[in-house]
Amino acid sequence: MEAQDGAELCFPQLLNLSCRKPSSSWPEALFLHIVLSSISLLTVALNLLVIISVSHFRQLHTPTNILLLSLAASDFLVGLLLMPAEILVNTSCWFFGDYICCLYNYVSFILTSASVGDMVLISVDRYVAICDPLRYSSRITERRVKVCVCLCWLCSVFYTSVFLKDDLSQPGRHNSCFGECVIFIDFIAGTVDLVLTFFAPISAIIILYMRVFTVAVSQARAVRSQVTSLTLQVSLPPPMRKSELKAARTLGILVVVFLICFCPYYGLALAGDSYVSESFSSFVIFLFYFNSCINPLIYALFYPWFRKALKVIVTLQILQPGSCETNML
């Protein structure tokens, strides 16, 4: 019996100080490893293609695509770093020590905050493009967008450093046994985090897109009724209207999927881990991370430039001199 109990421990030599291994059978654990590892690899590959596409092809260096590039960078790191670590936490024991556990939690919070910030910036970009099209090119420039993206990441790093300062100063202080990687957030800190990284940005996203949707519907009605007044033609040329509305629709889908994947995670944070099962908690976390895999699939479905770039990259035409000038639009 003692040998069997020792075999179930993450560190049998530590006896009462060691955590127990997950109770799932090896076929179930193997299946989870295969499925989740495949999703992780797919997330890394697809987002890497987005990063290469937007970075390499000069024609894709637009303010909106720079925001998508920032989001893809965040999603790429989720697939490369967070998903494998989460797979390990849920199917095995944590063997990398307290410092790596602390680093994992630190990076997780940074990427989450940066993703939420990118979504807010994308919503602002679409709001200006649809609701104030005449001043879009002067107000939303590449330089300003790059500055906003840099500030978004810097703020995420600073916020996370302040938020997790106790864990950073003393890694593993909340672990109850060896082989565990947990993070403890008290009620006040958790409430502040929910407001700053969920309620406030999500409210801004919803309000901005409700305004975008209202304007888009009114413009679509104007097109159907064939309004040809001189004022309308001057204020919003038909070619721009069509392209901007299409971009708003695509990015709207991106935002909706983001909300579907993120809301359960923050709902779990509100409810508390004690009110839900461990398996459901793991499912919500993976749904949270799975959003990073869905985003590039949305680009592939709705952005012709991404499909063209994908063809050029896969066929290695990207290695030819002057490929950065290839027409992608």
Which tens digit of pLDDT belongs to each residue from 252-268?
788 888 888 888 877 77
Q: How far apart are CA 173 and CA 271, in angstroms?
A: 24
Mean pLDDT computed over 186-193: 81
Q: Which of 106, 107, 103 is nearest to 73 (CA)?
A: 107
- Position 304 scores a pLDDT of 87
pLDDT band at 3 (very low <50, low <70, confident <90, very high): very low
> Which percentage of the chain shows pLDDT scores above 70?
84
Is residue 69 within 8 A of residue 51, CB to CB? The reply is yes
Q: How far is CA 65 from CA 29, 90, 105, 149, in A?
A: 39, 35, 29, 12
Of 16-20, 23-27, 150-154, which range is least confident?
A: 23-27
Q: How far apart are CA 86 and CA 135, in angstroms?
A: 44
Mean pLDDT computed over 167-177: 80
Q: Which of 46, 301, 248 is nearest to 131 (CA)?
A: 248
Q: How far apart are CA 41 and CA 140, in angstroms?
A: 34
pLDDT band at 239 (very low <50, low <70, confident <90, very high): very low
Mean pLDDT computed over 175-180: 81
Q: How far apart are CA 75 and CA 72, in angstroms?
A: 5
Q: What is the DSSP letter of 92?
A: S
pLDDT band at 202 (very low <50, low <70, confident <90, very high): confident
Q: Is the pLDDT of residue 237 over 60?
A: no
- Position 43 scores a pLDDT of 94
pLDDT band at 230 (very low <50, low <70, confident <90, very high): very low
Across the chain, what does the average pLDDT equal? 82
Is residue 123 within 8 A of residue 208, CB to CB? The reply is yes
Mean pLDDT computed over 55-62: 93
HSE-CB at 57 with a 13 A cutoff on CA atoms is 26
Q: Is the pLDDT of residue 25 over 70?
A: no
Residue with tokens 């949270």: 288
Q: Is the pLDDT of residue 321 over 80?
A: yes
Is residue 64 within 8 A of residue 252, CB to CB? The reply is no
Structural domains of the chain, with CATH: 26-325 (1.20.1070.10)
> Which percentage of the chain shows pLDDT scores above 90?
30
Q: Which residues contact 291 (CB under 8 A, 6 or more apart)?
A: 75, 115, 257, 258, 261, 262
Is residue 78 within 8 A of residue 292, CB to CB? The reply is yes
Which H or E element spans position 248? helix 238-271
- Position 73 scores a pLDDT of 95
- Position 276 scores a pLDDT of 61
Is residue 257 within 8 A of residue 276, CB to CB? The reply is no
- Position 247 scores a pLDDT of 67
